[in-house]
Amino acid sequence: MTSILAAIEPSGAAPIAPLVADARPGARIVIVSDFLGDEGAMRVAAGALLAAHSDVHAIHVIAHEELEPSANAIRAVDPEDASIMRPLDETLRARYAANFSNWRSDTAAAWRHVGATWTAVTTGEDPAMGVRRVIGASVGDLSAAAR
């Protein structure tokens, strides 16, 4: 799993919800995403699978730069859509950090509410350690799931 994840180059914004909805009930589903696209539809599809006795593990991949944006005034460019650009100065950086933190907390809580396991990993984290945390969370290590 570590080598597969390390080889993936994220791109685009393809919807994931249809893939989740097509999964076989009773299966173990692992969703690795930034959860910025069709998150609500994914969660609804995952909730249906959970009701059908599936295991659903949601792994939120967060770019290190999203957690710690540059202290310098910059123009932030969406890596998946270069037409989306926004200035990021000291004031906007503080607002962004608060909004992103609230969104992460709310999203994690919503996934846990439907019964999924939620784990966040960052791009600055060693992939092998991230995989170990995900596995720890899936077997009930609540301290790992809370990170």
pTM of structure: 0.78
Task: Tell me the C-alpha distance between 9 and 11, whole Å.
Answer: 6
What pLDDT, on the 0 to 100 scale, is given for residue 44?
96
Q: What is the mean pLDDT of residues 20-47?
A: 91
Q: What is the mean pLDDT of residues 125-146?
A: 65
pLDDT 10s digits, 69-114: 888 888 888 777 788 888 888 888 889 889 999 999 999 999 999 9
Question: Which amino acid is located at 134 in the chain?
Answer: V
CA nearest 35: which of 16, 48, 19, 21? Answer: 16
Task: Tell me the C-alpha distance between 50 and 56, whole Å.
Answer: 7
Q: For all residues of the chain together, what is the average pLDDT?
A: 83
pLDDT at 115 > cutoff 90: yes
CA nearest 27: which of 1, 47, 55, 48? Answer: 55
Task: Tell me the C-alpha distance between 35 and 2, whole Å.
Answer: 20
**Regarding the domain delimited by 2-64+104-145, which CATH topology (the fold level of the hierarchy) does it fall under?**
Rossmann fold (3.40.50)
Q: Domain map of the chain by residue range?
A: 2-64+104-145
